[in-house]
Structure formats: C-alpha cells, structure tokens
Structure 1
C-alpha cells in the first residue's frame, strides 16, 4: 500500500529501510522512525513482538517528553517541508497517541489509511520470518489492528485491505482519494504502468482461501469478527455502530491478558528452546556430515597414496643408485676440497708476505709524503718571494719609466750628457 501511494506522489523519508529477503521490494519505512519506536518500546519495557497493551501511563512520563523532542527532530529531518509525507511503521499502531502529538508539533495534520491483511496470512509470515507460533502471530494482529482503529477515531481515515489492493488497486486508490480528499501529484492513468509492474503477485508468499475452514483456536471468534468488520469497511466504508463490537473484542482481550500472558510466555520460551535445539541439532548434523565427508576424503587420499607408493618402488631403486653415485662424487669432491684448501693456505702465506712488504712501502711513502710536504711549503715560500721581487721590480721599472718621461728628465738631459762626457774624459 505504501509503495502504491508513493508512486501516486506521496513522499518517502530520506533514510529508507533497505529491502530484505522477506520483503525484496522494500518496506517504505524510515530507519530513524523505526529506531525511535524501538527505543520508545524499550523505555516502556515492551517490544515490537509484545501483544500486551502499551502502558498508557508512559505518555505522561519524562521519557515521553524526551522521546517527543527526538520525534520532532526525526520528522523534520526525514520529511523537511514535505506537503504530503508518507509515514509508515507497524509499531505506530500501538504508539499512535504519541505520534499524533509529534506530528502536530511539527505542523502536520495526519490522515490515516488503515490497511489490513488476513490474520492467518500474517501469522504464517511471522512464523516463517521470526519463528513465532501462529497463535502469537494472531494475538499480535489483534493487538495492532484494535489499537490502531481505537486511537484514530475522530480523524480523517479510510479502511482498505491488502487483498483489495491486489485485486483492483485503482478502486482502492479511488476510495482513499475520496475518503481523505487528497489531490495526488500523479493521476492513476499516469501511474498505471508503474503500479502494475510494482504489484507483482509473486510477492504474496502466504495465502488463505476464503472458503477454507479456519483452524480451531480460542482466538478465532475474535479474529473472525474483527476481520469481518474490517473487510466490510474496506469494501463499503466505515460503520459507526461497529465501534462497539470492536471495543467489546478489545475488552475481552484485555480481560484475557492475565490468563493468556503466562501461557504465551511459556510458548515463547518453548519456541526459543525449540529453536535452540534445532540450531544445535543443525550444527551437530553439519559437524557429523563434515566428519563423514572428511573421513571419506581421508580414505580416498590413503588409497591414492598407496597406489602412488607402489608406482614409486622402481623410482626408489633408481634413487638409491643415484644416491650411491652421489656419495662417491661427494667423496671425490671432499678430496678436491682438501687440495683446494691447501692451495688456499699457501696463497694465504704469500698474501701475508706481500702485505708485510706493502706495509713497509706504505711507511716509506708516508715519509716521502712528509718530505714532499716540506718541499712544497718551501716552494710556496720561494714562489711568494719571487712574486714579491717581481712586483718590486715592476714597480721600480714603472718609476724609472715615469721619471724618463717627465719634463724634469728632458730638461736635465744636456746636463746628464755633459756629465757623461766629463766622466769619460
């Protein structure tokens, strides 16, 4: 039902619960809403599989105030400003008063689509998925549908069925449209192809024919009456006088709870024990099968090894001969190795002698190196002295050249010649 309404344009939450093996097309439920509902049930000492009435006093507790703040955050985060939000979670059947307050707190006005399925099919599904006994599955069905119907009275609501949806989805959507006054973003004609692909009959794993005899049980009168009322409402609309009949069944269920409670608890413990025995038996059977397979495999390996051993006898003789030849070769190699070791020792003596000579040469080289260093330093000093003398000579030559090209030198030239002649005379 939720999938069809989504195709028509209702908006899903941001964090969708993933599909599972039991529900391959998906749940169309919010992971965050599911987690919050489980937390609410735990805080009230309950769970999703609890068929007993939810503690109404919890709604006035401090835990309820805290959870209400979380619900506001979840609704805002999952749907934001959506104008047509699709909120679906089976736990809301028992927690609707809480969620009605939460929806009002973020500005949503809830309209309710009640969709139900045959309780026998529901109990079969729970038995297959969770191992719950059929009677407990029927109790859960009663609790959920009765609580959901009672809590939503006075709201805009419409009743449909799973079977009616599969039989004629357009009629079912039409009843929802008319009953709730919703204007869908997508018309049934536009949604026809997608809905037809989505509603596969293969997804209906459990079915009970209408003309089949219902299994005998203490709950059957209640189940049949409630189912008959819901089927009638799904076909022709809600009848207000039926509220008293549903309230009577709910009152009988409440009155029977103290008696049924211990019986159900015992049944659940027996189911748990049976499940544990079955799992342990399965493990033992698996271990036994594994041991038998291992034994057969080992026996097969032993037979194969014996066959291979017989085939290897000629090879063993050949290997023995090869081993004897190898041992002879090893002895020859040992003698060659002894000769090589003697030659190596002789070369080692020669090497030690050469090392002694090399050591003497290194000492001489060190002394020569010291002498070379002394001569190098003397050479550097001599070169520096020569460089200084050359510099002084060049300086003197420059001075002489400057003197000869000076005016005073030219003026005194006759005097110098006269002096020279006088000296010669």
Structure 2
C-alpha cells in the first residue's frame, strides 16, 4: 500500500468538519502531535485541528493583513509573494515532522479553504497523495452557529460561507476530491467513511466494521445545535439566494461526485459582482480594522513565541489546572 495518503478536509467554520475529522480518527487516520483541546458548548468532541499548523495559518493571514473572518479576498496570487515563503517552509517542516511516516493522515482547518494554493507544492515536496474532502452543510445552520458563537450578522456570516465555499471548490477543482453532506455524516457516519475509503483509494488502518461502536458513540444527537430549512430561503434575493443555490449545487456533487460547474461559476461571478459593488468607504473601513487586528494579534504571537512566555508557560498551565479543582 502507498504511504502518505493525505485527507484534506475543506469547509467553512461550523460546517461539521470537526465531526468528520474526529470520525476519521476513529479508523486510525493520523492527526499529528498536538491538537486543540475540545471546548464546551462549541466543539465538545474536539476541533481536531493541528495546533502548530493552525497557528502558522493565523500568522500567515496576519502577514497578509487578513484573518479568518476577513470579508475581503486575499491579493492576486498572494501565494507567490516573498513574504509567504517562510510560512510555506514552516508548514512543510511540520508535515515532514508529523506525517512523513504516516500511511493515512488528515488535516482540517477552515482557513485552508482560502489558503489552499500554498499547499499544493508542499504536498508534492512531501510525496503526499492528497484527496480533498469538501464538507457541505446547510449555510443557514452555519449562519445560526456563527451568530451565536461570534455575534456575527447574517450578512457577514453568509459572505464568509460563500467566500470559503467558493474558494475551496475553485482551488480543489480538477484534484481528487469527495463531496460530503453534513446530514449524511450525522445520519450514517459509517457509510460516509466507507465512501471516503473507496473513493480515496485507501484502506483505513482500523476497519469501519471494527470501529463501528466507536463511530456510533462519537456521533450523538446533541452535537447538532442548529437545524434550518434551506428550502424556505430561495425566495430571498442576494446573498441568501446565492447561498441556497450553492448549497444545492454541492449537494448534487455529494450525491453524484460529478456534474456541470456552470451553476457554481455563475454563483461565483454574482458573488464577485456583489463584493465589487461595495463602496470605497466600506472597503477602506474593513482594511483599517484588519490592520488594527493584525497589529494586535501580531504582538500576541511575538509574546507567545518569546523565551519569557515559553519559560512561564508551565506555570500558567499548572495554575489553569488548579483552577478546575
């Protein structure tokens, strides 16, 4: 069997990517050395995000004067800019450190929807055979989740969903990929895993049958905090209409894994026109806020990686642990 099979999970924040990645861990897919801890009320079963890789993504976005919830697109061919290369080198080293000897490994970070062009040379240099798993969830459920967790407006949440979803589809088009519907993951997780195993042309280290009890135990009704009926949203214009159409276009791909991309390209063109119609004042305000947040978070990362923080970190961790008791 060929080593270094990479399963790259693509999907907007709150789209069920954590659930799918956690299921992959139940069948022996490797996740890396350090993962972000679960968070009560947000992701009780874990985020399943590689801490060092996500931090690198965050720092890269800051260097590009952006962040995960930026409403503006990144610059043209940003991945070719000189400022990006050190981050690409760091990511390549992390993949080599954690996955060079892995038969099957997975990487999940919603930021990859926008940062995917940076990764193709990394997969090549590391000899990884990447299969992209595109997670599709009702956008109005994602909106409800972002409104509750982050206090976003409906409009901002829809712009983010469309931006992430369209970017992930565009950058992964022509690559080996699998479209997965969130509802199917909840209803029949074992069948979804079998589909991934077959279409990615690999054999999980632990068979789906062998892991069946863990799989069923991992998916619980309480994991779904929001349920929406997208069929009612098509009557609305603008962002809601675009989100509704894109969701069903992806649903069709999840069922057939093939089809015409004309409707998706049409939605992408409408979304670009919508964003291009923003006033100069709005765009400048967004850029100003991006700069403010980039400066603030840049200072945080410098402190976080400093020797003084690294020396004090064990003390902070012990204090945090003691507070629980």
**Secondary structure of 1:110's match?**
strand
**Secondary structure of 1:86's match?**
strand
Give 1:234's match in structure 2, choosing from 242, 254, 260.
254
Match of 2:273 in 1: 255
**Secondary structure of 2:211's match?**
helix
Match of 1:3 in 2: 22
Contact 1:114 1:160 in 2 (8 A): yes
Contact 1:121 1:207 in 2 (8 A): yes
Q: 2: CA distance between counterparts of 1:234 and 1:118?
A: 13
Q: 1:8 Cα shift?
A: 1.5
Q: 2: CA distance between counterparts of 1:78 and 1:136?
A: 36
Q: Which runs of 5+ in 1 are unaligned?
A: 270-425
1:97-121 deviations in whole A, cap 9, x for unaligned?
1012222222212111111211101
1:350-381 deviations in whole A, cap 9, x for unaligned?
xxxxxxxxxxxxxxxxxxxxxxxxxxxxxxxx
Q: 1:202 Cα shift?
A: 0.2
The structure that has the greater radius of gyration is 1
Contact 1:159 1:238 in 2 (8 A): no
Q: 1: CA distance between counterparts of 2:124 and 2:245?
A: 33
Contact 1:15 1:78 in 2 (8 A): no
Match of 2:196 in 1: 176
Normalized per residue, which structure has more helix?
A: 1
Mark the CA change 1:215 to 1:266 in structure 2 (over 3 Å): closer, same or farther: farther
Give 1:198's match in structure 2, choosing from 218, 229, 233.
218
Q: 1:211 Cα shift?
A: 5.0
Is residue 2:58 matched to residue 1:42? no
Q: 1:79 Cα shift?
A: 2.6
Q: 1: CA distance between counterparts of 2:140 and 2:283?
A: 18
Contact 2:35 2:48 in 1 (8 A): yes
Give 1:24's match in structure 2, choosing from 44, 59, 71.
44
Match of 2:126 in 1: 106
Mark the CA change 1:116 to 1:265 in structure 2 (over 3 Å): closer, same or farther: farther
Q: 1: CA distance between counterparts of 2:285 and 2:141?
A: 24
Give 2:241's match in structure 1, choosing from 221, 230, 249.
221
Q: 1:228 Cα shift?
A: 0.6
Q: Which has the higher contact order (CA 8 A, sep 6+)?
A: 2
Is residue 2:162 matched to residue 1:139? no
Mark the CA change 1:266 to 1:89 in structure 2 (over 3 Å): closer, same or farther: same
Q: 2: CA distance between counterparts of 1:254 and 1:146?
A: 10
User: 1:191-340 alignment to 2 at 5 Å?
Assistant: 191-209=211-229, 211-213=231-233, 216-239=236-259, 241=260, 243-260=261-278
Contact 1:14 1:79 in 2 (8 A): no
Q: Which runs of 5+ in 2 are unaligned?
A: 1-19, 289-325
Mark the CA change 1:268 to 1:172 in structure 2 (over 3 Å): closer, same or farther: farther
Q: 2: CA distance between counterparts of 1:263 and 1:175?
A: 44
Match of 2:170 in 1: 150
Contact 1:113 1:159 in 2 (8 A): yes
Q: 2: CA distance between counterparts of 1:142 and 1:36?
A: 24
Match of 2:7 in 1: none
**Secondary structure of 1:138's match?**
helix
Mark the CA change 1:132 to 1:90 in structure 2 (over 3 Å): closer, same or farther: same
Contact 1:111 1:157 in 2 (8 A): yes
Give the superposed CA RMSD: 2.2
Q: 1: CA distance between counterparts of 2:244 and 2:276?
A: 22
User: 1:375-386 alignment to 2 at 5 Å?
Assistant: none
Contact 1:20 1:26 in 2 (8 A): yes
Q: 1:212 Cα shift?
A: 4.3
Match of 1:185 in 2: 205
**Secondary structure of 1:159's match?**
strand
